Structure 1
Amino acid sequence: MTIPAADGFDVLNVVGRYFQFCDAKDWDGMRSLWADMVTVDYGGVLPVEGQVEAETLKRTMADAIDPIPLTQHMVTSPVVTVDGDTATVRLHLEALHHHPGLGEDERSTNWTLYARNAIGLDRTPEGWKVSSEKMTVVCQTGNKDFVSELTDLVTGRS
């Protein structure tokens, strides 16, 4: 199936901005890319699943990622399918997370998540909007307790 080049470019641009905004911690920017309701499955990595209001998703993302000084989400092998006013981008994701307060070496300060994502988008009068995301975790390296240890650090628990 051939997709119009403009649609493919526009959809990939939304997905690229999505991860750029995430690393910049630009939650208003991310919110601008989402439909009002988004169906999500982050493979247990984030504490949200199912159909979620975009404002709730924005707060969840901010709460989870703001405390991490460095994240870098690298997207590879994106494949776009467009069917009328819906699109899907399937991609591979490598997500580095770093917090120097978690220890003395990279085994404790770094966590890298490898996943396969499927991001669904709908065409709206304002442009393409993310309407769903499913992340399937493939592998993790580094500190696999990063999230719980970061929570303990941020809340002062030991």
Structure 2
Amino acid sequence: MDINNLLLERELNVVLSRYARACDQRDWSAMEDVFLEDATADYGGLQHLQGREPIVAMIRVHLDGCGPSQHLLGNLLVDASDAAIESRVYVRAAHRGAGSMRDITYESLAEYQDRWVSTANGWRIAHRRMVISHEQGCRDILRPATEAAHG
């Protein structure tokens, strides 16, 4: 591995960390520094999305009404070829319910498989595929804020 590959891995890791923190802090404007405007995504085979706005809207639907969450990323692998820059990273996403569901939890173990593009403002995700390997708890706690308030 040469220094350029190490620097690339570090730069992609910073963007991935920005994503995890944006989710957990509900900082939706930070997603501009993560996804291309015309990015695509496939979250667990359940959501096929086109464009950063729909991607962020889907994430918000699941997290805005949820209590605290923590997205932990690890074991990043980067594949840099002449054709594309791709990465795979494990994600462990833990969530706690809000309101009447505050004692309920949901956790998923998955892998983000991303294709990247270099822009004038840094690396951005052009396509994300989330492959879920395990889920436990109650997915119902992932809901819009209005449902949590009435919960």
TM-score (norm. length: structure 1):
0.80
| Residue 69 (structure 1) aligns with | 67
Q: Is the 8 A contact 1:18 1:30 kept in 2?
A: yes
Could you tell me how far 1:104 is from its partner in structure 2? Answer: 7.3
Q: Indicate the RMSD between aligned Cα atoms, in angstroms.
A: 2.5
Mind listing any 5+ residue stretches in structure 1 that lack a counterpart? none
* Structure possessing the higher relative contact order (Cα contacts under 8 Å, 6 or more residues apart): 2
TM-score (norm. length: structure 2):
0.84
Structure 2 matches for 1:1-158, cutoff 5 A? 4-44=5-45, 48-50=47-49, 52-84=50-82, 86-103=84-101, 105=103, 109-147=104-142, 150=143, 153-154=147-148, 156=150
Q: What's the % identity of the aligned pairs?
A: 21
Matches of 2:52 and 2:23 in 1, distance apart?
14
Name the SS for the 2:65 alignment partner.
coil
Q: Is the 8 A contact 2:69 2:94 kept in 1?
A: yes
Q: Is the 8 A contact 1:11 1:87 kept in 2?
A: no
Mind listing any 5+ residue stretches in structure 2 that lack a counterpart? none
Matches of 1:34 and 1:85 in 2, distance apart?
19
Could you tell me how far 1:64 is from its partner in structure 2? Answer: 2.1
Matches of 2:41 and 2:120 in 1, distance apart?
23
What is the number of residues matched between the two proteins?
149
